[in-house]
Amino acid sequence: MQNISTFDFTNKKVIVRVDFNVPLNNQLEVTDDTRITAALPTIKKIAETGYVILMSHLGRPKEKEEKFSLKHVIPKLSELLGKDVMFANDCIGQEVKDKIAEMKTGDVLLLENLRYYPEEKKGNKDFAKQLSDLADVYVNDAFGTAHRAHASTAIIADFFPENKMFGFLIENELESLQKVLAQPQKPFTAILGGAKVSSKITVIEQMLDNVDNLIIAGGMTYTFIKAQGGNIGTSLAEDEYIDTAKEIMTKAKELGTNLILPVDSVNADKFANDANTELTAVDQISEGWMGLDIGPKTIDLFSETIKNSKTILWNGPAGVFEMDNFANGTIQIANALVEATTRGAFTLIGGGDSVAALKKYNLENKVSYVSTGGGAMLEFLEGKDLPGIAAVKK
């Protein structure tokens, strides 16, 4: 494996897997350029002396659908780079090779959506080979897809046994995650929220061993409260995970890990922003009502723990923050993280919804690190080998 900081890209054709899976509005304009901005350091570094060939997926096209064309990204990318970016109407084949032959040092070419070919997601070797034929060097800078063994994220690396490396974004992601996993400053607190226990169970188990405090929030809460015999009304609960929740509570006790559950709950009489609300103890929710946010006592409890921690990891909102009337718990957790960061704690936030929440309240620059990978970050924290990382390292 090579290193992007020291590699000599002079006159090299470099194919870079980026994550330009960005949101577009009805006019097909980019509405959030975070992912493009995150790739700029790598693109600029290579463009100093080499040729940059960018490849990405966008959305989930079933066929060659115009609305998923990566050409919609060109105006924003050109604006952010401060120069015109070239575009190829395909991602493999002679036409692309011809375009590359026209490139001059410093040029940047964006290829068409990789997922126009089903072979991409299938991790097809021949397709990966055709992509690799376009370049001398492979750089993976798409952390958001590093947990997928797709042609462009993992399989392609085999065709560059010598000349493969991570971009700056993946390097930074790995460094930040290592900081949290390897030698976290104590006390170490993880806040795991979001909808379901089932999707976070492995990371909960993994974190139990590593952290001093494990805060459970969001829809997951109610499966735990039900496991304790509480009344949760019609709140989200996964009955098949009640035993798992019990096991987690027992294991936390054995390990001496402080498992912190909400103590009060903001409940609604329907799943809507204009629902009637009641505030109750978390285990005394009225019949027919559902818990959609944490209450003020819980906010105090969580905030106190967060502010006294030196390393904090947050994944998943504390409530249905998409509805303004149930966003307060998530906002207050975000504020507590900002305060902890100001006091010198290392705060790492990942997962589409927690990051969206931070952005909604303009707090993303006030925490230590915002991960660009939700699923990839969780799998890394679960201790899994990410195919996109392993392929470059091997």
Residues annotated as catalytic are 35, 196, 352, 375
Distance CA 379, CA 34 (A): 22
Whether the Cβ atoms of residue 331 and residue 320 lie closer than 8 Å to each other: no
Looking at beta carbons only, is 105 or 198 nearer to ligand AMP?
Answer: 198
Residue 199 lies near ligand AMP (rule: CB under 6 A): yes
CA-based torsion, 250, 311, 372, 361: positive or negative: positive
In the complex, the smallest distance separating the C-beta of residue 391 from ligand AMP, rounded to whole angstroms, is 27
Q: Which two tokens stand for residue 268?
A: 């609604």
Residue 319 lies near ligand AMP (rule: CB under 6 A): yes
Q: Which two tokens stand for residue 221?
A: 């809460």
Can you tell me which of 144, 167, 218, 387 binds ligand AMP, judged by CB under 6 A?
Answer: 218
Q: Which two tokens stand for residue 33?
A: 């350029």
Looking at beta carbons only, is 316 or 388 nearer to ligand AMP?
Answer: 316
Residue 33 lies near ligand AMP (rule: CB under 6 A): no
Looking at beta carbons only, is 2 or 199 nearer to ligand AMP?
Answer: 199
Kindly provide the residue ranges of all beta strands, DSSP E only, lying in 114-187, ordered along the sequence. 137-140, 164-166
Looking at beta carbons only, is 218 or 295 nearer to ligand AMP?
Answer: 218
Residue 295 lies near ligand AMP (rule: CB under 6 A): no
Looking up tokens 């021949």 gives 126
Residue nearest to ligand AMP (CB): 194
Can you tell me which of 320, 345, 378, 392 binds ligand AMP, judged by CB under 6 A?
Answer: 320
Q: Would strands 258-260 and 213-216 be described as parallel, antiparallel, or unpaired?
A: parallel
Can you tell me which of 230, 262, 291, 350 binds ligand AMP, judged by CB under 6 A?
Answer: 291
Peptide bond into 184 cis (omega under 30): no
Beta carbons within 10 angstroms of residue 5's beta carbon = 9
Residue 237 lies near ligand AMP (rule: CB under 6 A): no
Residue 195 lies near ligand AMP (rule: CB under 6 A): yes
Could you give phi then psi for residue 367, rounded to 5 degrees? -120, 170
Looking up tokens 């949101």 gives 23
In the complex, the smallest distance separating the C-beta of residue 219 from ligand AMP, rounded to whole angstroms, is 3
The DSSP output letter for 326 is G
Contact residues for ligand AMP, defined by CB under 6 A: 194-196, 199, 218-219, 236, 291-292, 316-317, 319-320, 322, 351, 353
